[in-house]
Amino acid sequence: MTGVTLKKVKKSYGNVEVLHGVDLDINPGEFVVFVGPSGCGKSTLLRMIAGLEEISGGEIAIDGQVVNQIPPSKRGIAMVFQTYALYPHMSVYDNMAFGMRIAKESREEIDRRVRAAAEMLQITPYLDRLPKALSGGQRQRVAIGRAICRDPKVFLFDEPLSNLDAALRVATRIEIAKLNSKMSETTMIYVTHDQVEAMTLADRIVVLSGGYIEQVGPPLELYERPANLFVAQFIGSPAMNIMPAKITRTGETTEIELKDGKRLEIPVKTPEGDMGKSASFGVRPEDVREAEDGEDFLFEGKVSIIEALGEVTLIYIEGELIDEDPIIVKLPGIHEGRPGDTMRFAADPEKRHLFDEKGHSYLYR
C-alpha cells in the first residue's frame, strides 16, 4: 500500500501565492477528500500530486519517494477528470486498453485487466460501444475503469461527478464507494466542492480555504467539532446559524449573552481572560427543536418563510439575534407553522458551539 506526504507545499502564479505551505500525511489505503469553495486551491493541489502542475516550494512524496522532479507517467498514479477525457473514435474496450498498449503490456494482460475492471464497474455489456452511445454516468465509469486498468498506487479524482445530473451523481457516488471497498488497499484522493460527496465517501476530509488547510479529520468530527467558523458554516446544509455574543462568565462551563439579552450556558471551558470578550454562538439548524411549554428556550422570533420539503421543514426566523441572514431551523416531517407566527426554539447544551473573537472554536483551545 502507498501513502502520500506533502511537506510545506507551495504554489505561486507569478507573484501570487495560491497554496501556502501545505502539510499533510495521507495514509496508505486511505480515501481522502479535498473540499472547499471555488478558488481554494484543492484542484491545484491534486494536479501537483499528479505532476500536472509544477511545485513552487516544498516536497511531495509518494510511497516514500520524493516526486517533485518525476514526470506524471512515472509516479504510479491514475487520474479521473470531470470531463471523462475519452477518445470518441475508440470503443470502450480500446479506451480502457489504451494506456496499457502504450506501456506495451501483453495482449493477454490487457484483456484480463480490461475485463476485470469492466466487471467490477458493471460495464461489460458496453465494451464494444463508442462513448457517444453511453450516458454520462456510463462514460464516467469507463473513465474510472481506464484508471483501474493502469493498476495505480494512487487514484486521483478531480470533481468526477460535477457534470452529471442529480440522479446520476447519486448513482455514480455509490459506484465510487463500492470501488473503494473493493480496492481498499489503494490510496484515493478526491476533490469536490460538494460536501455530501465529501461526507459520504471520505475516511478523512481536508477542508481548504484561500490556499490554507482549515481542518483535517473524519467527516463526523468536522461536523460535530468544527475547528473554526469557516468549517462550521461550510460543513452542513443549511449552514450553522452563527449569532454574535458576549462572554459573561468563564470557567469549566461558560455563560454568554446574546444580542437580545438572553443568557445561555455553553458546556465548554473558557479562560478567565476572555471575560467580557466578543464571541460567536453557533447552533446547527437540525439541532434546534420547537420549545415545549414552560421549557427554557434558546431564542424566539417571527417566522418569515416556511419551506416544506416532505421529510423535513425549513423555517426561517427573523429577529435581532443575527445582523443580516435569518435563523434557519430544520424540523423533521411537516410543520404546520405559518409566516407571521412567533415561535420559540430550544437546543440541547451539548449541541451548542462557541467560537472566540478570531473565529476559533473553544473546543480546541
Q: Is the pLDDT of residue 322 over 80?
A: no
Distance of CA 230 to the CA centre of its chain: 13
Q: Which three cell numbers stand for residue 244?
A: 454574535
Distance of CA 2 to the CA centre of its chain: 22
Residues 143, 160 contacting (CB under 8 angstroms): yes
Residues 204, 32 contacting (CB under 8 angstroms): yes
Tell me what percent of the residues of the chain surpass a pLDDT of 90.
Answer: 70
Q: Is the pLDDT of residue 38 over 80?
A: yes
Residues 280, 228 contacting (CB under 8 angstroms): no
The CATH class that applies to domain 241-364 reads mainly beta
Q: Is 18 helix (H, G, I), strand (E, B) or coil?
A: strand
What are 93-102's pLDDT values in tens digits?
999 999 899 8
What are 146-179's pLDDT values in tens digits?
988 988 899 999 998 887 888 888 888 988 898 8
- In 85-218, where do the E strands start and end? 154-158, 187-192, 204-209, 212-217
Residues 4, 49 contacting (CB under 8 angstroms): yes
Distance of CA 124 to the CA centre of its chain: 32
Q: Which three cell numbers stand for residue 170?
A: 447519486
Question: What pTM did the predictor assign?
Answer: 0.91
Confidence of residue 272 (pLDDT cuts 50, 70, 90): very high
Residues 126, 134 contacting (CB under 8 angstroms): yes
Ranges of CATH 3.40.50.300 domains, the chain = 4-233
What are 41-87's pLDDT values in tens digits?
999 999 999 999 999 999 999 999 999 999 998 999 999 888 878 99
What are 261-270's pLDDT values in tens digits?
889 999 999 9
Ranges of CATH 2.40.50.140 domains, the chain = 241-364
Could you check whether the bond before residue 332 is cis, i.e. omega within 30 degrees of 0? no
Q: Which three cell numbers stand for residue 340?
A: 407571521
Gap between the Cα atoms of 297 and 173, Å rounded? 40
Strand order of the sheet with strand 278-283? Answer: 263-266, 254-258, 241-249, 278-283, 353-355
Greater pLDDT, 318 or 229: 229
Q: Which three cell numbers stand for residue 48?
A: 501537483
Q: Is 92 helix (H, G, I), strand (E, B) or coil?
A: helix
pLDDT at 46: 97
The average confidence (pLDDT) of the chain is 92
CATH number of 4-233: 3.40.50.300
User: Scanning the structure block, which residue is given the C-alpha cell 475547528?
Assistant: 227
Gap between the Cα atoms of 191 and 328, Å rounded? 29
Angle of the 107-121 helix axis to the 92-102 helix axis, nearest 10 = 140
Q: DSSP letters of 170-183?
A: HHHHHHHHHHHHHT
pLDDT at 203: 97
Gap between the Cα atoms of 207 and 140, Å rounded? 25
